[in-house]
Amino acid sequence: MSGKAIGILVALGALLCLALPTNSRAADNPALNADILKIALDWEHIKFQETDKDLQEKQMAALAERAAALVQQYQTRPEAMIWHGIIISEQASMASENGSPFKALGFAKRAREILEPLAMTSPTLLDAGAPASLGVLYYRVPGFPVGFGDKTKARQLLQEAVKYAPDGLDANYFYGDFLYEQKEYPAAQQIFKHALALPPHPERPIWDKSRRLVIQEDLAKMPSN
């Protein structure tokens, strides 16, 4: 696998971190909400606060096992499956960072297997978590013959994510980042500015602050005209 392909897989980790939006909660299942929020907060700690790369990878693997157990516990609920897919996507990034590109691609393929049906059957849940995360995979993973990346599919999925979650911070960020990478700067700026205008997320301050900082940095890099 080329150095460029490895770098693309590494970039996944900077992207995949969905919140538990208030307007996407399982209102009839507070236990599920609490369990998913715990997964999200532990993801946040591992991603942003754990500095040892080997330990970080081990902790993320353990978190993936916990997410898989939630899938079994709440078999009729797709929310846990969405987070399971997100965490496996993160494992792809960490494996690549630690010098295992083929292992990383395997994780990315597994994440796609989980998220693809959910993007069709549950596109609105967790602020369009499934189509947004799947769209990231399609535009960050290398294309054929190395991987399954596809910019056309990515655009379609990310447009759907913004449609289903117009006020979702991640849905807007992911689509804006895609437009930025395609050098479609005016459209990216519009999406990013809308994202920054959204109210802060009260339960996920670390994730919320990190996302907004990245958006601000990307806006600063873009040409003004």
Largest CA distance in the chain: 52
pLDDT (tens digit, 9 = 90+) per residue, 174-200? Answer: 999 999 999 999 999 999 999 999 999
What's the CA gap between 96 and 110, in Å, rounded? Answer: 15
Helix (H, G, I), strand (E, B) or coil at 74: coil
Degrees (nearest 5) of the Cα angle 182, 188, 194? 160
Could you give the percent of the chain with pLDDT greater than 70? 87
- Least confident range of 28-42, 49-63, 143-157: 28-42
Q: pLDDT tens across 99-145, in order?
A: 888 898 999 999 999 999 999 999 999 999 999 999 999 998 889 99
- C-alpha span between 87 and 38 (Å, rounded): 13
Domain ranges of the chain: 3-157
Please state the rounded mean pLDDT for residues 217-223.
Answer: 95
Show Cβ contacts of residue 126 under 8 Å, excluding neighbours closer than 6 positions: 18, 19, 20, 21, 24, 79, 82, 83
Instruction: Please give the mean pLDDT across all residues of the chain.
Output: 87
> Look-up: residue for tokens 């009729």?
76
Region class of 2: left (phi > 0), else alpha (psi between -120 and 50), else beta: beta
Are 166 and 137 within 8 A, CB to CB? no
Of residues 110, 98, 11, the one with CA closest to residue 64: 110
Cα–Cα nearest to 171, from 218, 124, 104: 124
What pTM value is reported for the model? 0.87
Question: And the tokens for 13?
Answer: 């980790």
pLDDT of 62: 97
Q: Which of 113, 26, 18, 14 is nearest to 76 (CA)?
A: 26
Would you say 6 and 103 are in contact if contact means Cβ atoms under 8 Å apart?
no
